[in-house]
Structure 1
C-alpha cells in the first residue's frame, strides 16, 4: 500500500477516534465555563481557517498563472466566497464589536451552514470530474461567473438577514437548519465515495489528500451539528477540524493542479528526451546519441593527446531483409532484439553498443592500444553468432558484416567517423567478407554506387533497359521448348552495366518492383508478338524478385497484364527463389493465387537455399531449376554430381520437371541426360541474345520442323 493511502486511512481513523474521545470525556469538558477563553480560541482557529481559505484563492488565482486549470480556478473562486462568509461568521460568533450588532448569533449559524453547504457541493462538483487546462480567457469567464455567484450569495444573505430575525421564534427554523447540516454531512461523505469509486483505479496522491480533507470536513460538520451537546466546545472542535480540512485542501489542490502536472510534464520531457536518444525497439542508444558520444571523444582527444585509439564498428545483419520479408516484421523485430541482447551481454569496460536503426548496430571501443586490438575484438563479436538464433518458427544461422573506422586516422569529426565506418560495412557486404576497415578508396566507390542508384531511377523512363532471351532445350531431342527473359541495362555513359551491379541496388531501393513489372509486360508482349507472327508457341520464363512476390495484389496485376496482351497464361513461367518460401503461409497463399491464373511456377537456383522437403511436396510448383554452381563442376566434384542426381531423382518422384542451368560443355550435357534431366539452358546452346537474334536463330527454324 502506498504511503498516501496509509495516510488517508490514518486520517479517517484519527478523526473518528478524536470524535469518540471527545464524546467519552464530554462531561468533564462540559465544565469548562470560561466562555471568553473558548471564544478567543474560536476566533484564532476561525482566522486560521479563513487564512487557509484565502490561500486557496491566492494560490489558484494569483500565483502560477502559467499553470491554469479549471479545478484551480473554480476552487479558488469557490473559497473566495466561502472564506468571506466564514470570516463574517467567526467575527459575529465571537461577538466582535461592530459586527455582532449587525449579524446576530442565529444569523451567524446560518452563515456557517450556508458556507459548509457551498463548500461541500462545490468540492464534490469540482473534484469528481476530470480536470482540464484553460486559457486566460477562460480564467476571466470563470471569475465573472464566480463573482456573480458571490453577489447572489450576498443578496441571499441580505435577504436572509431581514427574514431570519422575524422567524426566530418558530421551532421549525431550527429543524430546517439541522436538516441542512445533515445534508452537508451527507454531501461530504458522498464526495469521498464518488472520488474513491471505482476502488480498483489507483488514485493520485493529490486526490488522496483531498479525500482526507473531506474526511475532516465531515468531522467538522458532525461537531457543528451538535448532536451530542457539550456546549460551545463542539463549535471549537468543529472549527479546528475545519482548519485541518482547509489546510489539506490547500495542499491537495496545489499538488493536483500545479505539482502533479509539472511532474507529468517533466516525465513527458524525460520520455521525449529518452526516445530522442534511444531506439524504441532495442532500448539501445541511437545514432543521435552516438554522434554526441563521438563528438565528446574527439574533443577529449584533442585536449589529451595521450589518450588511446578509439575504434567504431558498424555491424550489419546479412540477409536481414530476406528474413524480415519472408518471416514477417514481428520475427524481424524479435531478431533485432535477440542480436542486441547477445552483443550487449558481452560489452566490457570502455565499450558501448548503439542501435543505428534498421538492421545496423554500432560498437564503440575506447582507450585501445591500436588497430590490431580493435580487429581482435571485432572478430570476437563475429564469433558470438556461430550458434543459431532461436525464433518462434525455428533456429536460424545469421552472420554479420563489420565495417571499422579508427580515431585518429579515419576522420577528424564524429560525422566522418560514423560515415566512414558505414561505408566500410557496405564494402564488406559487397566483397563478401566479414570485416573491412575504412580506406579512402571506399568513399569513391560509395559515391559511384549512389550515382548509379540515381541513374537507375531514371533508366526506366528513359528506355535504357532491354531484354535478352536464353533458349531452354529439351535434352531428349535438343528442341527449343522455352526461353528465359533476362534484364540488361545500356547506360548512356557507362555502356552495358552488369546485372550483378545494378540488380542489388534496384532491390534495396525498391526500384525492382516497377522494373520487374516492365520486364513481365515486355516479355509477355514479345512472346505474344511472336505467336501472332505464326511461330510455334513456347513458354517464356520470367524472374520475380522478393519485393514483387510479396505484393498482395501480384496475381491481380499479372492477370490484368496477360488479359490486356491476350497471352495464354500457360506460356508464362514465373521463377521464384527458395528464400521467398521461408514464410510458408504467405508463400502458399501467393503461389495458389498465381496458379489459379494458369501460369507455370519454377523454383530458381534450387539447392542453394533452405527449402523443407515436407513443404516442397505440397507446394503448387511445376519445375525445379538446378543452380549453375552445381552444374559447372559436376564432372570435377563428386559431391556436386551427387546433389544434381539427388535433385533430379526427387523431382521425378514429385512429378516435377527439372531444368539445369549453366550447361557449358558436352560432358555436362551427357551427365544430365544420364540423370534424366528434362531440360537445360546454358552457353552450350546459346548465350542470352536480343529478341531479333533469338527469332532468327531459334524461332524461324521451328517453322520448318513438323508440329
Structure 2
C-alpha cells in the first residue's frame, strides 16, 4: 500500500514527539535544577493550561459559530466534547496549581480525578465521533447537544464537589495507578487504531490529522502522570504542552474534515462539471460551447482575419455500420489526437459532435492565408489509422469560412463553415470555401425537407413500376416499385433529389413504409382483378434495414393488405451487410416470413464471397454501371460474366439492371442471365400503364 504525504507527516511528527517525550523523561530524572526553575516550570504549566483553554474555546467556536447553516455532526460533537474537556482542564490546572476554584480544594488527588475524567472522556469521545459516519445536523440538534452536555457537566461537577473529601487518591490504588499511567494512553492508541481502521479504504488526510492528535494526547498523558517532584513538574508541564498541541491538531483536523475537505470536494466537483461542460467526453477536446466562447473573443478583439474550419470524416456512418460503434469511437479519438498534435499558437482544435471537428485560425493577414493554413492542416493529417490491428485509410472533408468577409457573428461563422464542408462532400472534393450561393442551396434543401414532411399527409408521393422481363421467354416475371414525388411548386422531382435528403433527415423510414404498403396494395388489387400474380420488388434503405422490428412491420403490412409473402421481394444493398452478424439476423427474420430477398447494385460494394454464401438471399441484381459498358469495356464484361457464373453456382437468380439495347441483351443471354430490367423493355410507368401494357399481356 502506497504511503501518502499526510501519513508520512503523521509518522515523522509521531517519531519526533516520541523522541521529545523520551528526552523530557530523561531530563526529569535529573534533580539538580538551578534556582528559580520551579517558578519557570509552574509558569510553563500555567501557559500550557491557558493554551489548552484557548484552543478548546476555538474548537467550541468552530462548532457554534462557523457554517451553522451546514453544520457537521463531527464538528458539533467535537465542539461539545472539548467544551466539557476545557472545563475539566481549568479545574485540573487550578487544583494542580493550589488554586481553589468553584469550591474545589487544591490537591493532587482531585487533580488526578480531573485528569482521568477529562482524558477518558476525550479518548472515548474521539472514538465515538470519528469512527462513525458524518452527517448534517440542524440548529435544534446543536442547541440540544450543548444543553445536554452542559447539564451533564453540571451534575458531574456537583457530585465531585460534594464528595471530593471522600474521593480516594488514585496514586494510592494499584488499579488507579494502572488506569492513570497505562490505561488511558492505551485507550488513546486503541482509539487511533479504530479510527484508522474505520477509514482504511479512503484514508482522508484529515483523519490522519486526528490520529496524529490522539498520539500526542497519549504521549502528553504519559508525561502528565509522571511522578511529582522538580523533575516530575517539568514532565507534567511538558505533558500539558503536548495536550495543548494535540488540541490544536484536533482543531485543525476537524476544520479540514468538516469544512476544508468538503469545500475542496465541492470545488473539485464544480471544476469537473465545468470541464465536462466545456470538453468532449470521448476525445477530451474543447467542445462546441467552448469554441463559441473563444471564437467570440477572437472576433471582438481581432483586427485581422479569423478562419473557422469544420472537418468531417467521409463515410463515417459506413464505418460505424460495418465495424461497430467501438471502432468509430477509436477513430474519433485517434483523429482528435492527431489534430491536437498539429495544434499550435496559430490554431485551436475542437470537437463539434458526431464526426465533426473544428479548427479556429486567428490573426491571419487575409483570406488567402486562411485558405492556405486550412489546406496545410488537412494535408498534414495522416490518413492511415490502425483499428483492432487492422490498418484503414480515411479521408476528410473540410469547409472554411473567414471573418469578416463571410460573416461577422459566431454562429454565422460556424454555420457557414458547416455548410461548406457538406457541399464539399456532396461535390466529392476534400475542401471548399464558403460562398453565398451555398446558403441559398442550403435554404432550398431545408425547405424541401419541410415540404417532404407534409408530402406524405398530402398524398404527393406516388409509385411507378418498372417491369422485370425473363430473358428466355420475354414475359414480365416481376416489377420494381419506384417512388416519385409530384411537388406542388417544383413539379415532378426525380428520386435523386429527395431520397438522399430523406435518408439524411430520417424521413426515409415512414416514406419507405408507405412505399412498401402501397406497392403491396397495388399488387394485391391486380391479383384480385384476375391478373396473373407476379412478384413486386421494393427497395429497403439502410435506416429501415437497421430497425429492430423490421420483420414485424413487414409482416403486419402483409397481413393488413392480405398479400401472400411470396409475391414480395425486398432489395438490400451490399453496404447493409457490412455488419454480417446483424445482417444475418435481420435477413433470416425476414426470410422466415416467406418473402424473397435480393442484393441490389451488386458489384459496386465489397462483399466478401465467404459471407455471401451464408446470406439467405434469392437474387443478385447486377448494377447498371457494368451493363452500360459491357460491349465496350472488357473488364465490365468479365465482371458481368463472373457474377452470373457465381450466381448459378450458388443457385441464385440474376437480374441485370439498365438494359438499353439489343447488343446488351444478347450478351446477357449468352451469360445465362435470368432476367433484365431497363429502358429496352420499359421505363418506369404508372400503375395504370403497367396494368394495360404488361399485366394484360400476361392475362392474354
> Where in structure 2 are the equivalents of 1:145-224 lying within 5 Å?
145-168=145-168, 175=175, 178-179=178-179, 184-197=184-197, 201-224=201-224
**What is the CA-CA distance between 1:7 and the residue it aligns to?**
0.9
Q: For residue 80 of structure 1, what is the aligned residue in structure 2?
A: 83
Q: State which of 10, 17, 20 in structure 1 corresponds to 2:19.
A: 17
Q: For residue 263 of structure 2, what is the aligned residue in structure 1?
A: 262
**Alignment partners' CA distance in 2, 1:499 and 1:604:** 16
Q: Is the 2:478–2:536 contact (alpha carbons within 8 Å) kept by the matching residues of 1?
A: yes
**What is the CA-CA distance between 1:228 and the residue it aligns to?**
11
Q: 1:21 to 1:181 in 2, by over 3 A?
A: closer
**Alignment partners' CA distance in 2, 1:576 and 1:181:** 90
**Alignment partners' CA distance in 2, 1:173 and 1:551:** 87
Q: Secondary structure at the match of 1:279?
A: coil
**What is the CA-CA distance between 1:459 and the residue it aligns to?**
2.3
**Alignment partners' CA distance in 1, 2:32 and 2:524:** 115
**Alignment partners' CA distance in 2, 1:352 and 1:528:** 61
Q: For residue 665 of structure 2, what is the aligned residue in structure 1?
A: 669
**Which moves more between the two structures, 80-89 or 543-552?**
80-89
Q: For residue 295 of structure 1, what is the aligned residue in structure 2?
A: 296
Q: State which of 637, 640, 647 in structure 2 corresponds to 1:641.
A: 637
**What is the CA-CA distance between 1:48 and the residue it aligns to?**
0.4
Q: Is the 2:283–2:332 contact (alpha carbons within 8 Å) kept by the matching residues of 1?
A: yes
> Where in structure 2 are the equivalents of 1:584-599 lying within 5 Å?
584-599=580-595
Q: Secondary structure at the match of 1:620?
A: coil
Residue 572 in 1 paired to residue 568 in 2?
yes
Q: Is the 2:170–2:180 contact (alpha carbons within 8 Å) kept by the matching residues of 1?
A: no
Q: 1:261 to 1:170 in 2, by over 3 A?
A: closer
**Alignment partners' CA distance in 1, 2:342 and 2:669:** 54
**What is the CA-CA distance between 1:234 and the residue it aligns to?**
4.4
Q: 1:565 to 1:163 in 2, by over 3 A?
A: farther
**Alignment partners' CA distance in 2, 1:185 and 1:150:** 26
Q: For residue 69 of structure 1, what is the aligned residue in structure 2?
A: 72
Q: 1:310 to 1:31 in 2, by over 3 A?
A: closer
**What is the CA-CA distance between 1:622 and the residue it aligns to?**
1.8
> Where in structure 2 are the equivalents of 1:507-586 lying within 5 Å?
507-586=503-582
Q: For residue 325 of structure 2, what is the aligned residue in structure 1?
A: 329
Q: 1:498 to 1:35 in 2, by over 3 A?
A: same
**Alignment partners' CA distance in 2, 1:29 and 1:660:** 117
**Which moves more between the two structures, 607-616 or 56-65?**
56-65
Q: 1:390 to 1:256 in 2, by over 3 A?
A: same
**Which moves more between the two structures, 375-384 or 228-237?**
228-237
**What is the CA-CA distance between 1:224 and the residue it aligns to?**
4.1
Q: For residue 494 of structure 1, what is the aligned residue in structure 2?
A: 490
Tell me how large the CA RMSD over aligned residues is: 2.7
Q: 1:385 to 1:251 in 2, by over 3 A?
A: closer
Q: For residue 46 of structure 2, what is the aligned residue in structure 1?
A: 43
Q: Is the 2:113–2:170 contact (alpha carbons within 8 Å) kept by the matching residues of 1?
A: no
**What is the CA-CA distance between 1:271 and the residue it aligns to?**
2.0
**Alignment partners' CA distance in 1, 2:663 and 2:407:** 55
**Alignment partners' CA distance in 2, 1:537 and 1:386:** 56
1:223-269 C-alpha deviation (Å, 9 max, x unpaired): 34559997344432321221111111111122222222222222222
**Alignment partners' CA distance in 2, 1:154 and 1:588:** 84
Q: 1:661 to 1:103 in 2, by over 3 A?
A: farther
Q: Secondary structure at the match of 1:574?
A: strand
Q: For residue 442 of structure 2, what is the aligned residue in structure 1?
A: 446
**Alignment partners' CA distance in 2, 1:177 and 1:522:** 102
Instruction: Tell me the TM-score normalised to structure 2 length.
Output: 0.92
Q: 1:381 to 1:214 in 2, by over 3 A?
A: same
Q: For residue 119 of structure 1, what is the aligned residue in structure 2?
A: 122
**What is the CA-CA distance between 1:465 and the residue it aligns to?**
2.2
**What is the CA-CA distance between 1:177 and the residue it aligns to?**
7.7
**What is the CA-CA distance between 1:410 and the residue it aligns to?**
0.5
**Alignment partners' CA distance in 1, 2:506 and 2:180:** 77
Q: For residue 374 of structure 2, what is the aligned residue in structure 1?
A: 378
Identify unmatched segments of 5+ residues in structure 1.
none
Q: Is the 1:73–1:139 contact (alpha carbons within 8 Å) kept by the matching residues of 2?
A: no
Q: 1:40 to 1:376 in 2, by over 3 A?
A: closer
**Which moves more between the two structures, 400-409 or 192-201?**
192-201
Q: Secondary structure at the match of 1:333?
A: helix
**What is the CA-CA distance between 1:474 and the residue it aligns to?**
1.4
**Alignment partners' CA distance in 1, 2:204 and 2:32:** 41
Q: Is the 1:284–1:354 contact (alpha carbons within 8 Å) kept by the matching residues of 2?
A: yes
**Which moves more between the two structures, 23-32 or 425-434?**
23-32
**Alignment partners' CA distance in 2, 1:396 and 1:571:** 42
1:36-90 C-alpha deviation (Å, 9 max, x unpaired): 5433322211110121111122223223446632222222232222222222222
Q: Secondary structure at the match of 2:299?
A: helix
Q: Secondary structure at the match of 2:232?
A: coil
Residue 424 in 1 paired to residue 399 in 2?
no
**Alignment partners' CA distance in 2, 1:170 and 1:415:** 83
**What is the CA-CA distance between 1:176 and the residue it aligns to?**
5.3
**What is the CA-CA distance between 1:24 and the residue it aligns to?**
4.3
**Alignment partners' CA distance in 2, 1:342 and 1:701:** 64
Q: Secondary structure at the match of 1:28?
A: coil
Identify unmatched segments of 5+ residues in structure 2.
none
Q: Is the 1:311–1:374 contact (alpha carbons within 8 Å) kept by the matching residues of 2?
A: yes
Q: Is the 2:94–2:101 contact (alpha carbons within 8 Å) kept by the matching residues of 1?
A: no
Aligned length in residues:
696
**What is the CA-CA distance between 1:598 and the residue it aligns to?**
2.1
Q: Is the 1:113–1:181 contact (alpha carbons within 8 Å) kept by the matching residues of 2?
A: no
1:148-173 C-alpha deviation (Å, 9 max, x unpaired): 12211221221232234224379997
**What is the CA-CA distance between 1:92 and the residue it aligns to?**
2.6
**Alignment partners' CA distance in 2, 1:386 and 1:650:** 39
